[in-house]
Amino acid sequence: MPRDATSDLPPSAYREVAPAAPLRAGLACAWTYQAPSRPAAEVLVIPDGCVDLIWADDEVFVAGPDPIAQTASIAPGALLTAIRFAPGAAQAFLGLPLRNITGQRVALRDLWGRRARRLTDGLAFDAADPADRLRSLQHAVARQGLPTADPAMRALFTRLAHSDAASPARLARELGIGERTLRRRCHDAFGYGPKTLARILRLQRFLRTPADLPLLRRALDAGYGDASHLVRDTRLLTGLTPTDLLAQRHG
């Protein structure tokens, strides 16, 4: 599924590829998703600290950073084509602080006005092949100027993505900026502050731990202090217990 979602839909419908060479500094990946023809149940999209630009039918929209899980449904047979910005790169490309679109799905024309036409006019709307649509979208994005990541915010994301990440105060010192400035820049670059971002990335680490390990071992390996810490964070971010979240994720 697009982004990080729990679903029992066929995984082969989702295809993720490396971005085109000119875009690799500013994109994490590009992806397509072909929804099945049968009606789909709602899926739970788990926060992951990412921002995607998604082309669906004749609309291009931005999937802003989610602070908590959101439910989503995709029309039967829909083809989604998207790019995922590298950490810290979406703000500059979109031209606005991501705090403005936290938890939202916003049409690009509503963010850019007439400027959005310069991107959408370059899309091959008559293309039916997912690979052709993916090339078309990446080419249209590149014509707007190559996305580039804020080096300090990319470094912050990289540090917080590890289980031994330091406190925000220490990270601010390492980056040579004040703690208040760090919070403000993190809100602008990711849509929320460093503590929330760290919580989201910790849950993502937990979801990537080997499924055959005991739950407590998975929690400790991901950076949780104990099982109750995992339960609190999982309920806060998804509304589910860790066991229920894993059951949904793996069908």
List the structure tokens of 91: 């703000």
pLDDT score for 61: 97
**Sheet with 52-56: strands ordered across:** 14-17, 27-34, 79-85, 52-56, 59-63, 105-107
pLDDT score for 9: 47
pLDDT score for 167: 83
Among 12-16, 116-120, 148-152, 178-182, the least confident range: 12-16
What are the structural domain ranges in the chain? 5-143, 151-249
pLDDT reading at 41 higher than 80: no
Tens of pLDDT, residues 98-148: 999 999 999 999 999 999 999 999 999 999 899 999 999 999 999 998 888
In this prediction, what percent of the chain has a pLDDT beyond 90? 76
Please check whether the domain covering 151-249 is classified as CATH 1.10.10.60: yes
pLDDT score for 250: 67
DSSP 114: T
- For range 76-82, the mean pLDDT: 92
- For range 145-158, the mean pLDDT: 90
